[in-house]
């Protein structure tokens, strides 16, 4: 009798159809996970136990994801009258569309994983928001039409296999109240999932690739959207705010500065330099994805950066500097605001990001003509809004005349066109007798890696190496043209990467994948020298201001690298949810479930080993990260109203 009641309640055709859909979802998710596993195997230490855990956790989260994603289909199956539900063409069409979307997700996850070494995350959210640039980039990078056609053909075969099983579910006749009775059980499942399951279940091992493989990309996509701004106080380890801020006061103190007052919440301090200020022009080139590994000084052997290799010997060359994050906006944030990264999305993309104490606002207050120059459309990643509300005038692709663009792709005009525009803007400022300060964001070293033909010995669209070599070529042409300008001898050229070319490795924060070059080039003004002090992107502004011999009031949390004593060097690396603090070949990592991890690392190889560190390392990490969060939360990092 129980079997009969159970069958009537739960095994009618509509429930069987949902069950069939569930099995299809699990099968495609299984195939996706397997394809990604084979892609990641060369970078993993595979064991049968690890594989079992990947698939075990993976199936669990695929099931959880199903309870969310198919709520609309569940509602359709619950409420649609029998006449419509049993209409084969309509149900076939619904099934065909759903399986096509799932197969498309398989292909999209493969290409995303190949590029970023991760399932869908906050980067994918950006791809959904900035569709114009992203869709064009994808079309220029991949054979999109062939991919769509291939998915369509595979989907036809899948549908033909499933059609007889679908038809078997379209014969029952039910009444609404019975469907509602069985539907209550299925309605509870997503509620239970929401209450009891979160991303922390994915952390099955220290191998970052294994954790990514256990995830479900669609689940991650929604989670990334919900966690674009992580509440530090809620998710991260911390100590008493006064203790942390007092420690931060000590950490950012330098020999030539004094605090305006003793309030630990007030980071304002006066920087003093003896002698006259050097009102030199400053051009900051933020080079897209220019990892340190490409330069000879960092072990590069392919000869992709002849101009940067030469400049390293002619410049103030910082050989132990690390990017704050893995996205362009993280690099621009660190360079512009001189503050460590906060969890979640960059401040550049957050609301209410106006009137920070920024490098731009400081230079503008000193009479400089300040500009953010970009060869693409600056609404991407909210760059135009952020820079225009933090001390900069905007020059983006909308300001390029037609004859100023000789080549462009999804991200904008090529680097040569951009640098010709930089010189034109510098000449305008010089003509108006104003010193100028420009932050210039390049794009050519970015997928699809296309650039003008005949410039270098690697064909356009041939991959990353071509993008790197063309970017280096364009830097050489910029300096060649700049030498002909009357302002060249009074200009500092600061060259730094926004982030590295890739950060996907077995460990969550692979230190070597954050190492980037920093060069300050000004022949006759800056004596060439190699500086090996451990430092961060947040230290660039204070260091350049020190080279200018400026005396000023600051709220920067970065420091002048040239004034750091032995052992004072430190750096910050991050993903959108994990925060790393480096010092003395040791690292503290703060995670979003109040995790605290300690490592030793080998600077040459980048290898890390778990260890135990003295409490002072944690206090210093919290000083910077919790302290930065406190200042941001209460807007103590802003200019006076």
* From 213-222, 285-294, 488-497, 579-588, the region with the lowest mean pLDDT: 213-222
Question: Parallel, antiparallel, or unpaired for β 491-497 and 281-287?
Answer: parallel
Could you tell me if 62 and 144 are in contact, meaning their C-beta atoms sit under 8 angstroms apart?
no
The per-type count for the chain, helices as H runs and strands as E runs, is 22, 19
Q: Which of 223, 185, 184, 188 is nearest to 202 (CA)?
A: 223
Instruction: Tell me: cis bond preceding 448? Omega within 30 of 0 counts.
Output: yes
- In sequence order, the 6+-apart residues with CB closer than 8 A to the CB of 278 are 525, 547, 548, 549
- Residue (of 106, 469, 195) closest to 309 by Cα position: 469
**Residues 6+ positions from 572 with CB-CB distance below 8 Å:** 322, 324, 334, 340, 341, 536, 538, 579, 580, 581, 582, 624, 625
Q: What is the distance between the alpha carbons of residues 493 and 540, in angstroms, rounded to a whole number?
A: 12
pLDDT digits (tens, 9 = 90+) for 385-431: 999 999 999 999 999 999 999 999 999 999 999 999 999 999 999 99
DSSP state letter for 340: P
pLDDT value of position 226: 61
Q: Tell which phi-psi region holds residue 101, choosing left (phi > 0), alpha (psi between -120 and 50) or beta.
A: alpha
Q: What is the pLDDT of residue 77?
A: 67
- Please give the pLDDT value at position 503: 53
At 204, list the tokens: 């099955």
Tokens coding 36? 């990604």
The pLDDT of residue 130 is 65
d(CA 458, CA 455): 8
User: What is the reported pLDDT for 214?
Assistant: 87
Query: Measured between alpha carbons, how far is 290 from 443 in angstroms, rounded to an integer?
Result: 11
Domains of the chain: 2-226 (no CATH), 235-633 (3.40.720.10)
Nearest to 273 by CA among 612, 549, 577, 541: 549
Of the pLDDT bands very low, low, confident and very high (cuts 50, 70, 90), residue 152 is very high
β-sheet bridge partners, residue 598: 588
CB atoms within 10 A of CB 281: 22
Q: At 312, which helix (H) or strand (E)?
A: helix 306-314
Identify the burial level of 285 via C-beta atoms within 10 angstroms of its C-beta, where 0-12 means exposed, 13-18 middle and 19 or more buried. Answer: buried
Contact residues for 267 (Cβ-Cβ < 8 A; gap 6+): 248, 249, 252, 555, 557, 631, 636, 637
Predicted pLDDT of residue 406: 97
Helices (H), 117-197: 122-129, 131-141, 144-168, 176-196
Say which DSSP state 638 is in.
Answer: B
Tell me, what's the pLDDT at 506? 54
Q: Is the pLDDT of residue 355 over 60?
A: yes
pLDDT tens figures, 103-118: 999 999 998 888 777 7
CA distance 350 to 382: 8
Going by the DSSP 8-state scheme, the letter that residue 347 receives in this structure is G
The pLDDT of residue 10 is 40
Q: Are 402 and 413 in contact (CB under 8 A)?
A: no
Of residues 249 and 140, more confidently modeled:
249
Question: What's the pLDDT at 3?
Answer: 37
DSSP 352-369: S--SB--HHHHHHHTT-E
First to last CA, the chain: 76
- The pLDDT of residue 8: 43
Percentage of the chain with pLDDT > 90? 65
Whole-prediction pTM: 0.84
Average pLDDT of span 349-377? 97
Distance CA 349, CA 338 (A): 17
CA dihedral 98, 101, 103, 106 (to 10 degrees): -130
Of the CA atoms within 13 Å of residue 547, those in its CB half-sphere come to: 25
Looking at residue 527, its pLDDT comes to 96
């Amino acid at each position: 009798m129980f079997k009969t009641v159970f069958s009537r309640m739960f095994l009618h055709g509509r429930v069987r159809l949902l069950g069939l859909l569930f099995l299809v979802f699990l099968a495609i998710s299984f195939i996706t996970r397997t394809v990604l596993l084979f892609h990641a195997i060369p970078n993993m230490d595979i064991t049968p136990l690890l594989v079992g855990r990947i698939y075990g956790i993976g199936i669990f989260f695929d099931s959880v994801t199903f309870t969310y994603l198919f709520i609309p289909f569940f509602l359709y199956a619950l409420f649609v009258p029998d006449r419509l539900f049993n209409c084969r063409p309509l149900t076939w069409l619904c099934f065909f569309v759903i399986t096509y979307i799932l197969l498309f997700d398989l292909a999209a996850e493969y290409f995303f994983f190949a590029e970023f070494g991760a399932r869908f995350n906050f980067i994918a959210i950006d791809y959904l928001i900035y569709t114009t640039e992203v869709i064009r980039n994808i079309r220029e990078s991949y054979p999109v039409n062939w991919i769509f056609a291939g998915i369509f053909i595979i989907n036809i075969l899948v549908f033909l296999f499933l059609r007889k099983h679908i038809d078997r579910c379209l014969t029952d006749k039910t009444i609404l109240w019975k469907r509602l009775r069985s539907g209550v059980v299925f309605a509870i499942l997503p509620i239970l999932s929401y209450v009891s399951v979160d991303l922390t279940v994915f952390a099955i091992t220290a191998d970052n690739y294994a954790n990514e493989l256990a995830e479900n990309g669609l689940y991650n996509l929604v989670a990334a959207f919900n966690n674009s701004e992580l509440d530090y106080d809620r998710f991260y380890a911390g100590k008493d705010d006064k203790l942390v801020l007092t420690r931060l006061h000590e950490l950012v103190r330098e020999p030539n500065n004094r605090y305006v007052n003793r309030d630990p919440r007030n980071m304002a301090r006066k920087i003093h330099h003896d002698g006259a200020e050097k009102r030199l022009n400053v051009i900051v080139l933020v080079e897209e994805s220019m990892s340190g590994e490409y330069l000879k000084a960092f072990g590069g052997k392919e000869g992709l950066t002849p101009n940067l290799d030469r400049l390293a010997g002619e410049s103030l060359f910082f050989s132990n500097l690390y990017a704050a994050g893995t996205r362009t906006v993280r690099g621009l944030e660190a360079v512009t605001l001189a503050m460590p990264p906060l969890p979640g999305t960059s401040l550049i993309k957050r609301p209410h990001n106006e009137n920070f104490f920024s490098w731009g606002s400081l230079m503008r207050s000193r009479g400089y003509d300040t500009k953010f120059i970009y060869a693409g459309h600056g609404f991407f990643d909210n760059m135009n809004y952020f820079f225009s509300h933090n001390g900069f005038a905007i020059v983006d692709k909308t300001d390029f005349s037609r004859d100023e663009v000789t080549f462009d792709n999804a991200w904008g005009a090529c680097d040569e066109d951009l640098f010709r525009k930089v010189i034109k803007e510098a000449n305008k400022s010089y003509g108006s007798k104003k010193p100028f300060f420009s932050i210039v964001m390049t794009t050519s070293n970015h997928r699809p890696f296309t650039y003008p033909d005949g410039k270098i010995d690697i064909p356009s669209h041939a991959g990353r190496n071509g993008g790197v070599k063309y970017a280096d070529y364009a830097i050489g042409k910029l300096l060649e043209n700049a030498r002909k300008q009357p302002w060249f001898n009074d200009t500092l050229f600061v060259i730094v990467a926004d982030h590295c070319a890739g950060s996907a490795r077995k460990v969550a924060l692979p230190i070597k994948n954050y190492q980037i070059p920093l060069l300050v080039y000004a022949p006759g003004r800056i004596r060439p020298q190699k500086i090996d002090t451990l430092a961060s992107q947040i230290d660039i502004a204070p260091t350049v201001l020190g080279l200018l011999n400026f005396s000023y009031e600051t709220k920067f949390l970065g420091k002048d690298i040239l004034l750091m004593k032995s052992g004072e060097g430190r750096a910050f690396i991050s993903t959108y949810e994990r925060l790393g603090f480096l010092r003395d070949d040791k690292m503290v990592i703060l995670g979003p479930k109040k995790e605290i991890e300690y490592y030793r690392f080998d600077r040459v190889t980048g290898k890390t080993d778990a260890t135990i560190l003295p409490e002072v390392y944690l206090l210093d990490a919290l000083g910077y990260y919790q302290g930065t969060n406190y200042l941001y939360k209460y807007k103590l990092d802003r200019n006076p109203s």
